[in-house]
Structure 1
Amino acid sequence: MAVILVIEDEINVAAMIRVCVESEGHICHVAHNGNEGLDKFCKLQPDIIILDLMLPGINGLDICAHIRQFIKSKQKDPYIMMLTGKVEESDRIIGFSTGADDYMPKPFSPVELAVRLRVLLRRELRQQANSEGMIETRHLLIDQERRIVHFKYTNHTTEIVKLTTLEFNLLVVLAKRPGRVWSRSQLLDIVWGIDYEGDFRIVDSYIKRLRQKLYRTDATGEKLDKTQFICTAPGIGYSFTD
């Protein structure tokens, strides 16, 4: 599940996009002018921005440039999909040069929009999967380079948690974005691959196994809940917390 910000001044178009985004299982926020859009970007830190080029006041190109400048101050770097009634090549080139990741001319179909959103989100998942380093939470130390997970007890001792390749990959995806809810289809895309054609319930089976392997009694004698690390979002998927 992604957070998507729509900056579009046409009420009917914005409403259509909201329906499309929410039908894909994502959270949608809407702004109807540039100033409101920039304000919501700073507050919401969205994964994707769907940005109209022709806006009253600050136009889409200027908003796109502002957002890319904000990234220098360690704001989140979202994907930007630019919408426009213009179809000239020069307009597309200008849009890409200011930092747009995708460009879709109006009018467009909800089906095409949904497909483009899935493509952008798959890029994000793959980039996250390929980035290496150490992930540290309250109880876990995940070494991505050596592919080792250490459980950290409160008495400062550690224990290696033995995981299979798929279990490790699944944990990394979840732990990199604490609190983010991942749908089963998103987890299948990144952990099993987009060509996987098996039962999506395999995700549930691996989550169960992962919970069992992470479950243990802390050094204080307190037993951690089996859902301490992986929470279920009913009807949606799973998230990581520690």
Structure 2
Amino acid sequence: MEQDIKILVVDDEERIRRLLKMYLEREEFIIEEAENGRDALEMALQNDYDLILLDLMMPEMDGVEVCEELRKEKTTPVIMLTAKGEEANRVQGFEVGTDDYIVKPFSPREVVLRVKALLRRAQTSSFDHTDTQAKNILVFPHLTIDHDAHRVTADGQEVNLTPKEYELLCFLAKSPDKVFNREQLLKEVWQYEFFGDLRTVDTHVKRLREKLNNVSKEASKMIVTVWGVGYKFEVDDL
């Protein structure tokens, strides 16, 4: 993990901010805090954070509103902190670009694991690092993924993806026509086996398809649901 990782911790409860700050600083992360959504959004737009831990229910602006506004300008990885009874809000959070969520009450160790996993995926492109430059670009009909530039284009137009949406697309596209179940995708893309909610995968796939469809209907059709099993990346004319 690179040094000088800067994380914004956002929660209206001081004790939660203090707990998260303590555990994350043990990992030598630089921690900044905000106690409401409006301050958090202002800080997130003015600074380049490596990751944001964002409480869902807050005064001024809630976490969904903050993430929605943030995604208009930045793709900073976001982990949402939610209470158990807020499932509908979690789904809404994913739809506006949240990368992951953690349910309260949480284990601080779980938070550290989630943060490290998301930072790894956001900061490095783990696909074909040792291969030739040519292999760092995946080209399909209607879709191009440039790993070096971390850019996705569909029918010539750039598609603005969150880090997790990008990693999910890359993982599927690297193995055309291979079907992955949700458990496999949680393990390989999210890099954890024990904490994940399978609906996390479904919501990200839905959001990814929508973004592709806004640019190219043909590109969005490449992500195929295999009913009762999982998902695959399908290319008719490779």
Is 1:145–2:143 an aligned residue pair? no
Match of 1:67 among 63, 66, 70: 70
Shift of 1:7: 1.2
Secondary structure of residue in 1 paired with 2:125: helix
Q: 2:145 maps to which residue?
A: none
Secondary structure of residue in 1 paired with 2:61: coil
What runs of 5+ residues in structure 1 fail to find an aligned partner? 72-76, 133-143, 147-171, 173-242
Name which one, 1 or 2, has greater alpha-carbon Rg: 1
Q: 2:101 maps to which residue?
A: 103
Q: 1:221 maps to which residue?
A: none
Percent identical = 35
Q: Counterparts of 1:27-176 in structure 2 under 5 Å? A: 27-71=30-74, 77-127=75-125, 145=133
Runs of 4+ in 1 over 6 A off after TM superposition: none
Shift of 1:128: 7.3
Amino acid at match of 2:101: Y
C-alpha distance 53-131 of structure 1, shift in aligned 2 (>3 A): farther
Q: Deviations over 1:48-83 (max 9, x none)?
A: 000000000111100010100123xxxxx2110000
Residue correspondences, number: 132
C-alpha distance 47-131 of structure 1, shift in aligned 2 (>3 A): farther
Q: 1:11 maps to which residue?
A: 14
Amino acid at match of 2:82: T
Amino acid at match of 1:115: L
Match of 1:22 among 15, 21, 25: 25
TM-score computed with the length of structure 1 as normaliser: 0.50
Shift of 1:98: 1.1
Q: Is the 8 A contact 1:87 1:105 kept in 2?
A: no
Shift of 1:94: 1.1
Shift of 1:28: 0.5
Q: 2-side partners of 1:98 and 1:91: how far apart?
A: 11
Q: 1-side partners of 2:70 and 2:128: how far apart?
A: 25
Shift of 1:4: 0.4
Q: 2-side partners of 1:131 and 1:68: how far apart?
A: 28
Q: 2:226 maps to which residue?
A: none
Amino acid at match of 1:145: Q
Q: 2-side partners of 1:34 and 1:11: how far apart?
A: 14
C-alpha distance 8-89 of structure 1, shift in aligned 2 (>3 A): closer
Q: Deviations over 1:221-240 (max 9, x none)?
A: xxxxxxxxxxxxxxxxxxxx
Q: 2-side partners of 1:21 and 1:125: how far apart?
A: 18
C-alpha distance 59-130 of structure 1, shift in aligned 2 (>3 A): farther
RMSD: 2.4
What runs of 5+ residues in structure 2 fail to find an aligned partner? 135-147, 149-238
